[in-house]
Homo-oligomer: A and B are copies of this chain.
Amino acid sequence: MYEQIVERLRDSIQSRQLADNLRLPTNRELAAMLKVDRSTVSRAYFELEQQGLIESHVGRGTFVRVRSGAAQEARTTEPVQSMVWPEKFSRASQTAFGILGRQPAQGALATNSISFAGGIPSEEFYPQEEFRRIVSQLARNDRSAEMFGYSPAEGDLELRRQVKCFLTEQRIPADDNELLIVSGSQQAIDLVTTTLVDPGDVVFVEEPTYFWAILKFAASQARCLPIPVDEHGIKVDVLESMLSRHQAKLLYLMPTFQNPTGATLSLDRRHKLLEVSRRYQIAILEDNFVGDLRYDGQPLPSLKALDRDRDLVIHQGTFSKALCPGLRLGWLVAPAEVSSRLQLAKRASDLSTNSMAQVVMAEYLRQGLYEKHLEHVKSVYRRRRDTMCQALSTHLGSRLSWTKPEGGLFVWAKLPSGCSSRELLAHAEREGVSFSPGDMFFVHGDRMDFLRLSFIQHDEQTIETGISRLGRAVDLYLQSRQRLERSSNLVHSRGNESALI
Contacts and interface: CB of A to CB of B under 8 A. Distances in A.
A349 B326 CA distance: 15
A151 interface: yes
Interface of A: 28-29, 31-33, 35, 81-86, 88-93, 96-97, 100, 120, 123, 126-129, 131-132, 135-136, 138-139, 142-151, 183-184, 186-187, 190, 194-199, 201, 212, 215-216, 219, 249, 278-279, 281, 283, 309, 311-312, 324-328, 335, 337-338, 341, 344-345, 347-357, 360
B194 A81 contact: no
Nearest to A215: B348
Contact of A212 (B88, B184, B347): B347
A325 B126 contact: no
Nearest to A329: B354
Nearest to A326: B355
Contacts of A84: 281
Contact of A344 (B100, B123, B148, B357): B100
B344 A93 contact: yes
Contacts of A281: 83-84
Contacts of A201: 90
B324 A149 contact: yes
A120 B93 contact: no
25 contacts: A28-B32, A29-B32, A82-B311, A84-B281, A88-B196, A88-B249, A88-B283, A90-B198, A92-B194, A93-B341, A93-B344, A93-B345, A126-B144, A126-B149, A127-B148, A148-B325, A148-B327, A184-B350, A184-B351, A327-B355, A328-B350, A328-B352, A328-B354, A328-B355, A356-B357
Nearest to A92: B194
Given A84-B281, A135-B135, A190 B90 contact: no
Nearest to A84: B281
Given A212-B351, A350-B187, A351-B186, A93 B150 contact: no
Contacts of A145: 123, 126
A131 B135 contact: yes
B83 A186 contact: no
Contacts of A337: 85-86
Contact of A83 (B92, B212, B335, B351): B335
A370 to B, nearest CB: 14
Contact of A148 (B128, B195, B348): B128
B93 A195 contact: yes
Contacts of A278: 81, 83
A138 to B, nearest CB: 8
A96 B348 contact: yes
Contacts of A356: 131, 326-327, 356-357, 360
Contacts of A347: 186, 212
A312 B31 CA distance: 35
Contact of A93 (B81, B132, B196): B196
Nearest to A199: B199
A354 B326 contact: yes
Nearest to A182: B350
A256 to B, nearest CB: 21
B128 A147 contact: yes
Given A219-B348, A283-B83, A348-B190, A123 B139 contact: no
Contacts of A35: 28
Nearest to A123: B145
A329 to B, nearest CB: 8
Contacts of A195: 89-90, 92-93
A96 B86 CA distance: 28
A400 B290 CA distance: 58
A85 B310 CA distance: 12
Nearest to A213: B348
A149 B326 contact: yes
Contacts of A96: 344-345, 348
Contacts of A326: 146-151, 354-356
A149 B198 contact: no
Contacts of A82: 309, 311
